[in-house]
Structure 1
Amino acid sequence: MSGDRSTCFIGATIWPGGDAGFMAGGLLVKGTRIVSVLTPAEADAAALGADEVIDAAGMILMPPLADCHVHSSSTLFRGTENSLPLELWSFHAINHGRGVTDEAARLSVLLTAVELIRNGIGSYVDHFPQAGRAAIGLDAHLESGLRVAFAPFFADLRDEDLLGIPLDTELAARLLPLAPRRAEEIETLYRGLAVRLRQQGHGRVELMCGPNAPQRCSDDFWKLWQRLQDSLGLGSHTHLLETYPQRQLADVRWRGGLVRALDAAGLLHDRLSVAHGVWLTREEKELLARRGVTLSFNPVSNAMLGSGRKTIREDLELGLEVALGTDCSNAGGRHDLFEVMRHMLVSGRDPGSDFRHWPKPGQVLYAATTAGAGVFRNQAVRGRLETGAVADVLMLDPRAPGLAVAPVSPASIVAHADARSVHSLMVDGNWLLRNGTVTVLNEVALIERASVVAAELRALAAETGPAIDGLQAGYAAWQGSAFQGVTCSCCAPRLSPRSMTLA
């Protein structure tokens, strides 16, 4: 939609977002903003002066879903190794990533975009490992039409060194990521991206600091993180305490705890979102909540990689802002927040648990929309359909299989909706999906070319795959020592931080 062209939706059922209820009515959009949410009578009147009128009878209008932890670079790695713990799985992921070219990076971002669009996701955080190709990724994001918080990786420490994971040194050299590792290189990269966005962007794509994880950054890189966020006014996104070995390491490196160290460094605030947090203590969750941090819950990838089962109920009860994420295609599966919403809904429903405190559908739908939109710095991105907000609108068809015959409610959407329910998607006043057809990208041509490039990447990775598989015996012995006395975060009592020591 260009300029001040207006579109009026009539005859719809509207969920404005937040804690609002469903209502009959319409929506008036002008340019890139929502003018007003309308009653049925107001919608009929507004339609008389609109440039386009959309009869949304029988449809649900709501804020698009927001995916708050994605690695778009992994989309060409679909169907590869996903049956190992994170620390060992990551060797396979790096192995597939080392063959990525500029074309592969672009295709991966755009193929991710198609999947997100078809799943009703209008905005996402792209935690981007291929920092050396960040400019390529940025161009693809601008092309995709989606709303993106773009967070290129930086780190200068590696898990195999920090955790004592046994790894052949020659193999390690072959697997080293091809990414900037010096602080001055990262700073130059970020400042260049910030200039490009000021010159070419229009608020739909924004830059975020993307430290891989706090423990993978030296003290100098923590200072770099502080400098970038403060001088460029950026939000930040990072992994946080995803696995038990990370918890052990953090408690050795930061005697007062990692979360308190982040707070002391000025890195804990409402511009920070963190992924996972499986091994956070109650006190750490309370501190995150007080500082306004958003936590991205990634239950599918956590389960796939054996990182631990996070019961999200406690996070909600402590007032922590919870959003949802789908993580890597080769770890979390589909970029499908309908699936993740159902996982959140059933989280913590253990036998004998207090059912009165199980997550409610309204909390889940809020996490998938309004909470997720909160990570964006643009004040008009609200995750709500309301006057002055960006014109981001998801249209669901409740007559589609799955939702058919269900009453219109948060419970129905969370428990029964899926990609078949997604009828149309508008972001920033532009249609990305209309009547089930992707309008912003050539989906067929994209998939054809991406299939060829993905096969090439798999062929290259196959040369080193057996050597990585050969690490399993040594890794299993290391794991047995590292996890001594602990099975997982739900099957055995969680050790207190004071009793955790590095194996």
Structure 2
Amino acid sequence: MGITLIHGKYVISEITGPSSAVVLSDGAVCQRDGEIIDVGPYEELKDRYQYDEIIGSSSFVVMPGLVNDHSHVGLTPFQHGAPDLPLELWGFSRMRAKDVDPYLDHLYGAALMIKSGTTTVQALHLPAKGKGPFDLENSEKVIQAYRESGMRVSYAPMLANKDSLLVGAGGGEDEFAADLPEDLSRRFKELTAPSYLPAEEIIAMVGDLYAKYYERPEEKIRVTVAPSNVHRCTDDLLVGLRDLASKYETGIHIHLQETIYQKLYGLRTWDKTPLQHLEDLDFLGPNVVCGHGVWATDEDIETMVSHGVSLCHNASSNLRLKSGIAPVNYFLDKGLRIALGSDEAGLNDDKDMVQEMRLALNIHRVPGVDKTPPTAHQIFQMATVNGAHASSFGDRVGTLKVGKRADIVLMNLKNIEKPYLNPEVVLDSYEGIAHYFEFCVGVMLVFLGLQVYWNLKRGRLHVHQHDHDGDDHLHIHGTHPKEETPAVQEKHGMFNPGKPFFRMKSFIIGLIHGLAGSAAVMLALLPTIDSFMAGLAYLLLFGVGTILSMALVTIALSVPFAMSGSHDRLNKIVSGLAGTASILFGVALMSDITLGTSLIPF
């Protein structure tokens, strides 16, 4: 891989506090074979090593790759046709979604995340839903998608063994079916078939996957444990998965109290919250991440902090599914480690972690001058260092420090510092306008060519009015003798090679045509100029240069006509050739614009 120097106007090395960070101005990061070997001022590092490549410039900010700590799929449920509904109803609307190849689905998701600067993801995948043999093939497809994308992935097969659709204090799906009339009961059982597998069978089936990556680890791949949710797993499955994570020294990611109904289920079933039930099972520890936690109580928060548990905040998903707004300010006050994720229902269905960070920064600004919202530094730490810890990659990523992995993102500052103007949109608009005027130019060229032929025809026998002997006289002319006076020559349009020979009309036509033809280029370049004075100078130079160049071109093209002015036959031949060329070029130009031909090769 060699040595690469990554240069930026700013280099965000690490967050050191709620309002402090190590940021280098005109800095650089040096990496060798995927590991950071130096960080410092650009000019110093530029001379210190022999580089295979230098990337970046003073137009970029260099920062650690972002971590999406809670992601499920590539195509979102909304893109599959499921509207945004409360979570408990959402599952029904998704039952008719078409199956998508998991490799392609997650490869698409990886491409979206990379586009917005995400380099690590916690992928929570449903390979079998606890109702059939564990689908090792599809699990490997998901892992392969991220492997090929170049991202880091913490892959977790989500597992459950009860109540995916219905749950209640008096029982789940089986109890609900028993209370239905016979016909409805049969139809409901068909809807929820097949039955869930026992916990021990599920744990035995997934063991091979964990063993494989434990015995043959890959630098960018982790395989973690993911019980779907407390109310969807029996206690023996929760304990078994806890022990599996301990055996293979990996992390656990579990959905927790995402909605008020999940919290109420715990209170009615165990007389305590689901989090406190996990505490009773000795499930909690530093390797556990709780997803959402919108309805965590004070006691829940203190319990999570005491066990070193992390929480993944999914701000946009919580809004779209009407789950609520997690009390992040309170979490931070209590010292809870928080990561960020996009979930399945991110704000714009595009897995943009920068957008997720911005939402998380602004949504927790409660009224009052004495309330401190999360700072930009804290949000950045959630999306980098905290996410790396929560996704089981520890401290190897999330900062730009010597010895860390070179997961580096360059963000173009022009997109932040300058007014927004999409060059593609601008150029597309100019192209449409330019095509219209170019077609008009084609019409004009044909007209001018025909005018030349008309004048040549008139030159054979035509009438002029002359003023001599004090009276107006009409004369029929065929040709004009050389000895005619300059005034008569001017009337007849004849030129002397030794004197100025371009007419004002021709000059103005050429001038305006030249300015119009290059106006799109001028306007496309103007948005890239940094200052008003530089733009003004550019316009001045552009205008003067265009006028001079078109004048010179017009003069050069007029030379053959001026030189042949004293030779009537030669002048007619040159004029005829010019008229023919004008007509042919005009027709070709109009054909290329309207019919899409390629008659003009330039």
TM range (shorter): 0.7 to 0.9
Q: Give the alignment partner of residue 14 of structure 2, picking from 12, 17, 24.
A: 17
**Change beyond 3 A, Cα 1:17–1:82:** farther
Distance 2:23 2:195 in 1: 47
The answer to whether the aligner puts 1:85 opposite 2:86 as a matched pair is yes
The answer to whether the aligner puts 1:109 opposite 2:106 as a matched pair is yes
Q: Give the alignment partner of residue 383 of structure 2, picking from 354, 362, 368.
A: 368
Report deviation, 1:107. Answer: 1.1
For structure 1, the 5+ residue unaligned runs are 407-415, 421-503
For structure 2, the 5+ residue unaligned runs are 129-134, 178-183, 425-602
The answer to whether the aligner puts 1:359 opposite 2:355 as a matched pair is no
**Change beyond 3 A, Cα 1:250–1:73:** farther
Residue 261 of structure 1 corresponds to which residue in structure 2? 277
Contact 2:86–2:321 (8 Å) recurs in 1? yes
SS in 1 for 2:208: helix
Q: Give the alignment partner of residue 120 of structure 2, picking from 94, 118, 123.
A: 123
After superposing the two structures, state which structure 1 stretch, 127-136 or 83-92, moved more.
Answer: 127-136
**Percent identical across equivalent pairs?**
26
Report deviation, 1:375. Answer: 1.4
Report deviation, 1:309. Answer: 2.2
State how 1:6-155 maps to structure 2 within 5 Å: 6-19=3-16, 20-24=21-25, 25-46=27-48, 48-72=49-73, 74-75=75-76, 78=79, 80-96=81-97, 99-100=98-99, 104-131=101-128, 132=135, 133-155=138-160
Contact 2:14–2:23 (8 Å) recurs in 1? no
Distance 1:56 1:185 in 2: 55
Distance 1:331 1:156 in 2: 30
> Greater relative contact order (Cα 8 A, min sep 6): structure 1 or 2?
1
Distance 1:229 1:201 in 2: 15
Residue 442 of structure 2 corresponds to which residue in structure 1? none
Contact 1:73–1:108 (8 Å) recurs in 2? yes
Report deviation, 1:94. Answer: 3.6
**Change beyond 3 A, Cα 1:213–1:45:** same
SS in 2 for 1:383: coil
Distance 1:198 1:182 in 2: 25
Report deviation, 1:37. Answer: 1.1
Report deviation, 1:389. Answer: 0.9
SS in 1 for 2:22: coil
State how 1:483-498 maps to structure 2 within 5 Å: none
Residue 502 of structure 2 corresponds to which residue in structure 1? none
Aligned residue identity for 1:238? I
Q: Give the alignment partner of residue 284 of structure 1, picking from 300, 315, 329.
A: 300
Aligned residue identity for 1:126? A
Distance 2:146 2:265 in 1: 35
**Change beyond 3 A, Cα 1:114–1:178:** farther
Contact 2:68–2:340 (8 Å) recurs in 1? yes
SS in 1 for 2:295: coil
Report deviation, 1:65. Answer: 1.3
Q: Give the alignment partner of residue 322 of structure 1, picking from 321, 327, 338.
A: 338
Distance 1:274 1:179 in 2: 27
Q: What are the superposed Cα offsets for residues 42-83 of structure 1, whole Å, 9 maximum, x if unpaired?
A: 31223x422222243221111111111111265476252223
Residue 299 of structure 1 corresponds to which residue in structure 2? 315
**Change beyond 3 A, Cα 1:79–1:355:** farther
Residue 132 of structure 2 corresponds to which residue in structure 1? none
After superposing the two structures, state which structure 1 stretch, 134-143 or 361-370, moved more.
Answer: 134-143
**Change beyond 3 A, Cα 1:36–1:216:** same
Distance 2:196 2:350 in 1: 29
Contact 1:78–1:330 (8 Å) recurs in 2? no
Q: Give the alignment partner of residue 267 of structure 2, picking from 242, 251, 275.
A: 251
Number of residue pairs aligned between Structure 1 and Structure 2:
397
Distance 1:106 1:179 in 2: 27
**Change beyond 3 A, Cα 1:11–1:149:** closer
TM-score by length of 2: 0.61
Distance 1:178 1:87 in 2: 21
Q: Considering only CA atoms, is the larger Rg found in Structure 1 or Structure 2?
A: 2
Residue 414 of structure 2 corresponds to which residue in structure 1? 399
**Change beyond 3 A, Cα 1:68–1:306:** same
Report deviation, 1:341. Answer: 1.5
Report deviation, 1:310. Answer: 2.0
Aligned residue identity for 1:35? I
Distance 1:333 1:11 in 2: 30
Report deviation, 1:134. Answer: 1.7
Aligned residue identity for 1:349? R
SS in 2 for 1:203: coil
**Change beyond 3 A, Cα 1:207–1:169:** farther
Report deviation, 1:285. Answer: 0.9
Residue 227 of structure 1 corresponds to which residue in structure 2? 243
Report deviation, 1:196. Answer: 3.3
Residue 398 of structure 2 corresponds to which residue in structure 1? 383
Report deviation, 1:170. Answer: 5.2
Structure with higher helix content: 2
Distance 1:196 1:178 in 2: 29
Aligned residue identity for 1:86? L
Aligned residue identity for 1:128? H
After superposing the two structures, state which structure 1 stretch, 16-25 or 171-180, moved more.
Answer: 171-180
Report deviation, 1:213. Answer: 0.6
Q: What are the superposed Cα offsets for residues 358-404 of structure 1, whole Å, 9 maximum, x if unpaired?
A: 2221111111222111113344523101111111001101112xx12
Distance 2:185 2:410 in 1: 52
* RMSD after superposition: 2.7
Distance 1:118 1:344 in 2: 20
